[in-house]
Amino acid sequence: MSFLQEKIHQLGLPVRPDDRQVLIRTLLEQEYGIIPPIPCKVEGRTVAEDKRFCAGKAPLQTIELTLTLPGGSFTFPVKYARPTAAGVHPLFVLLNFTANVPDQYYPAEEICDRGYAVLSAGYNDISKDAADDYTDGLGKLLREAAAQAGVPAQQLPGKIAIWAWAASRMLDWALTQPGVEAERTAVIGHSRLGKTALLAGMLDERFACVISNASGCSGAAITRGKPGEHISNITDVFPFWFCENYRQYADNEAAMPFEQDWLLAAIAPRLLCVSSGLDDQWAGPSHEFLGCVAASSAWEALGKPGFITPDRMPAPGDALQEGSISYHLRPGDHYLSREDWGRFMDFLDGKGWRK
């Protein structure tokens, strides 16, 4: 048994089912909550355009997206920056902590200069990051629709599921725009929004790549044996991110019938990027890395290269990008940096995303 295989064996992970739908159903029922299929019309209206953005190389549009569901409608703003150069541009769908462009986690000019477009939204414009009892807005519409479809109260969607659902609606609109191809679209997020990106990518197979930066507990990191944050910590402070069922595993993680490698494995055979900061021990970089190791066999079972790594734990500066799973470990703490963005684009460039 190799060094990394022994590491995984010592964690005592539950056996992962081969059936992808079983993975998805278990994670939704036990962790994130269920949003059933809901008819939704997506319409976009441009309300502003800055043609001088990025020195005119990538005009910035502000668009109001209106989602019309059987129970009502909801509108939120998105920002669309697309290089003016001719041709198809790979697209990032970014859920961010603010709607600002650029912002500390979103170096817009550097990204557009690399030939990538970005459709971004501030997550609080979708559903407030708070225990708001879902009395209005998109959360109310989605939870009411779920309840009417027979979803039990303990499995109703939390905020991460609501944000993830909205990311797919952003993609609905993006795919109506010239120069956007589903085969070169990626969903990306940092921290709690890294968890959201993983869930959005698991549920929406149109995303050709899923990118999770420092998603940690309840994201890319294996829960069992993890340093830093655990289910008891996260559900004490942010219970509304998840369905009610998840709280039963606080201080009871050995009883979980699933693990976070299931979330990663359900993305196969598409591309996956996971990244960590060396000093971000609350997120647990060691267990984000081990999540990639444990999930790799899902790609291999589908005839794709999974996670290609030396048989050791990662070292600062490692960028492991040969397989379908990319992992990098950079120096520093909990942050989505220009270095991280550069690594993601290096990986996608290496997969032929820019033509």
Which residues neighbour 41 within 8 Å (Cβ) at sequence distance 6 or greater?
Answer: 67, 68
In this predicted model, what pLDDT tens digit does every residue of 190-246 receive, in sequence order?
999 999 999 999 999 999 999 999 999 999 999 999 999 999 999 999 999 999 999
Among residues 191, 275, 296, 337, the one annotated as catalytic is 191
In this predicted model, what pLDDT tens digit does every residue of 249-307 receive, in sequence order?
999 999 999 999 999 999 999 999 999 999 999 999 999 999 999 999 999 999 999 99
Asked if the model's pLDDT at residue 26 lies above 80, the reply is yes
In this predicted model, what pLDDT tens digit does every residue of 90-142 receive, in sequence order?
999 999 999 999 999 999 999 999 999 999 999 999 999 999 989 999 999 99
The number of angstroms, rounded, from the C-alpha of 47 to the middle of its chain's C-alpha atoms is 27
What is the identity of the amino acid at 177? Q
Report pLDDT for 355: 75
In this predicted model, what pLDDT tens digit does every residue of 147-204 receive, in sequence order?
999 999 999 999 999 999 999 999 999 999 999 999 999 999 999 999 999 999 999 9
Three-state secondary structure readout of 187-203: EEEECHHHHHHHHHHHH
Q: Where are the beta strands (DSSP E) in 134-288?
A: 185-190, 209-213, 271-277
Asked if the model's pLDDT at residue 1 lies above 90, the reply is no
Three-state secondary structure call for residue 234: helix
Is 287 designated active site? Answer: no
For 196-215, b/e burial (b = at least 16 CB within 10 A) is bbbbbbbbbeebbbbbbbbb
For the chain, what percent of residues have pLDDT higher than 90?
98
Asked if the model's pLDDT at residue 86 lies above 90, the reply is no
Three-state secondary structure call for residue 19: coil
Is 191 designated active site? Answer: yes
What structural domains and CATH numbers belong to the chain?
3-350 (3.40.50.1820)
What is the identity of the amino acid at 29? E
Report pLDDT for 64: 98
Average pLDDT, the chain: 97
What is the identity of the amino acid at 153? A
Report pLDDT for 98: 98
